[in-house]
Amino acid sequence: MEKINALKGFKDLLPGDSERWDWLALTARRTFDAFGFSPIHTPILERTTLFTRSIGETTDIVEKEMYTFEDWDGKQVTLRPEGTASVVRAFLEHRHQMPVLPVKLYYQGPMFRHERPQAGRLRQFHQVGAEIIGDIDPKQDIELLSLLTYFFKRIGLDNLTLEINSLGCPVCRPPYREILQDFFKKKLTTLCEDCNRRFHKNPLRILDCKKESCKTITTDAPASAKHLCTECDEHFKTVQQGLKTLKIPYQYSKHLVRGLDYYTKTAFEMTTQNLGAQNAVAAGGRYDGLVEALGGPATPAIGFAMGMERLMHLIPETKGMPSTLQLFIVPLGESAYQTLFPILYSLRKKKLRSEIGYSDSPLKKQMKQADRLNAEYVLIAGDEEIAAKKAILRNMKTKSQTEIGLSNLINEILAEIEG
């Protein structure tokens, strides 16, 4: 029979990594909780139009990366490629059951994009994200950025760079876009092929081209933050002032842009040097127009998402270490097993991580298994011990052994191991 493997870009998370993964998710939960965010879980499958309308018809995600198919009843459905659209949809659908504005929500779960896998990029990947819906005040931007910064500090990553920029709004972005196009118009012949394509589709994207030849040209390109309307300009200044007050280090990145169409005003990224080409660990920004675009009342909002797999590459191996086996029970013979198995059950109910060997295996073999499982203690009993109503408790590290009477075995073991 032919072996069946996981699909390209879909990964199993095995013991060892799973514990770190859970630790990361739990730490996120606790941190977001402290900042006043509530959890939300939305479906993985949504109507396709939710994403075409929110992310943007002409983005790569919508054009060629979504897992879209026709449901049995003929509906066009899509595996979510990101989380914000679903959260906003759920907000609108249940807004009368939501607490007063602003609503602060966080989520975590799998996202799907059909891309060619590479370092830090999978087809099924996982994001943790947070959204603040219903307040245009820059105080919310500051709060969200403080949450982001603190979370990274809490998981032991303090060498990341917070880059911020302002992309403007429907008032000031179109004129800026024209200024930018004017700037690049004379330089089209020296820009790369991709940038020539970007010139028409999304000229802002030229600003973060990776080619050196383009980079030298873009150095002098006009910055969006220098062409903001009064409202956006004040907003951006207040955000920066707030970060300074909280002593949150950041870098103004005049050419930082966002890939999804719905972003406005504040845009930001957390980047690292240790992840290969995919250097963004978290990213987000304001999306004041999205709620309205999805059929709701005009409602400003801001949010971000972090890539779990990318975080996993960065956090120390020691975080969330798998718990060690505290006790391995060695029964020598069937009658010993019959006596010891109920004891194992009792110990497990007392939350002692414990295991039992095969009663028909020789002592040597069972000891070897205990050693391989990294057991801290081993409890040994054969016919002799059972007849004498006792068992041997061995400390695998110190090699010291004590005899324990069966009558009070459970308490004595717990005292020895946990005491």
Residues lying near RNA in the complex (CB under 7 A) are found at 5, 8, 59-61, 65, 82, 113, 115-122, 125, 127, 194, 198, 205, 209-211, 258-260, 269, 276-284, 305-307, 309-310, 332, 362-365, 367-368, 370-372, 378, 380, 382-385, 392, 394, 396-397, 399, 401
Beta carbon of residue 49, minimum distance to RNA (angstroms, whole number): 19
Q: At closest approach, how far in Å is the CB of 78 from RNA?
A: 16
Close Cβ partners of 260 (under 8 Å, ≥ 6 residues apart)? 54, 55, 56, 59, 61, 82
Q: Give the residue with the Cβ less far from RNA, 119 or 241.
A: 119
Choose among 219, 34, 46, 270: nearest CA to 143: 34
CA distance 19 to 85: 30
Nearer to RNA, 95 or 187 (CB): 187
Least CB distance to RNA at residue 116 (A): 4
Q: How far is the CB of 96 from RNA (least distance, A)?
A: 29
- In the complex with RNA, which residue's Cβ is closer, 19 or 65? 65
CA 169 to chain centre: 29
If the CB atoms of residues 7 and 100 are measured against RNA, the closer one turns out to be: 7
Q: How far is the CB of 250 from RNA (least distance, A)?
A: 16
Nearer to RNA, 14 or 100 (CB): 14
We find the least distance from the C-beta atom of residue 2 to RNA, in angstroms, to be: 11
Question: Both tokens of residue 50?
Answer: 């939710």
* Residue (228 or 381) nearer to RNA, CB: 381
Q: Environment class of residue 44 by beta-carbon count within 10 Å: exposed (0-12), middle (13-18) or buried (19+)? A: middle
Residue labelled with tokens 């109910």: 349
CB 88 within 8 Å of CB 98? no
Smallest distance, RNA to C-beta of residue 166, A: 16
- For residue 208, the minimal CB distance to RNA (Å) is 7
Q: Which one, 100 or 277, has the nearer CB to RNA?
A: 277
Interstrand relation of 327-331 and 354-356 (parallel, antiparallel or unpaired)? parallel
* Residue type (1 letter), 16: G
Write out the H or E segment, with its range, that includes residue 176. helix 173-185
Q: For residue 400, give every residue at least 6 positions away whose Cβ sits within 8 Å of its Cβ, in sequence order, or none.
A: 394
Question: Is residue 162 a contact partner of residue 249, using CB atoms and an 8 Å limit?
Answer: yes
Residue at 23: amino acid letter: W
Nearest approach in angstroms of CB 16 to RNA is 14
For RNA, the closer of residues 130 and 332 by Cβ is: 332
We find the least distance from the C-beta atom of residue 169 to RNA, in angstroms, to be 19
> Which residues have a Cβ under 8 Å from the Cβ of 13 and sit 6 or more positions away?
21
Q: How far apart are CA 142 and CA 131, in angstroms?
A: 13
Cβ closer to RNA: 363 or 415?
363
Asked if 179 and 222 touch (Cβ cutoff 8 Å), the reply is: yes
Q: How far is CA 30 from CA 26, 37, 156, 219, 282, in A?
A: 6, 10, 15, 41, 18
Based on CB atoms, which residue is closest to RNA, 139 or 313? 313
Neighbours of 84 (CB within 10 A): 25
Strand partners, 282: 270, 306
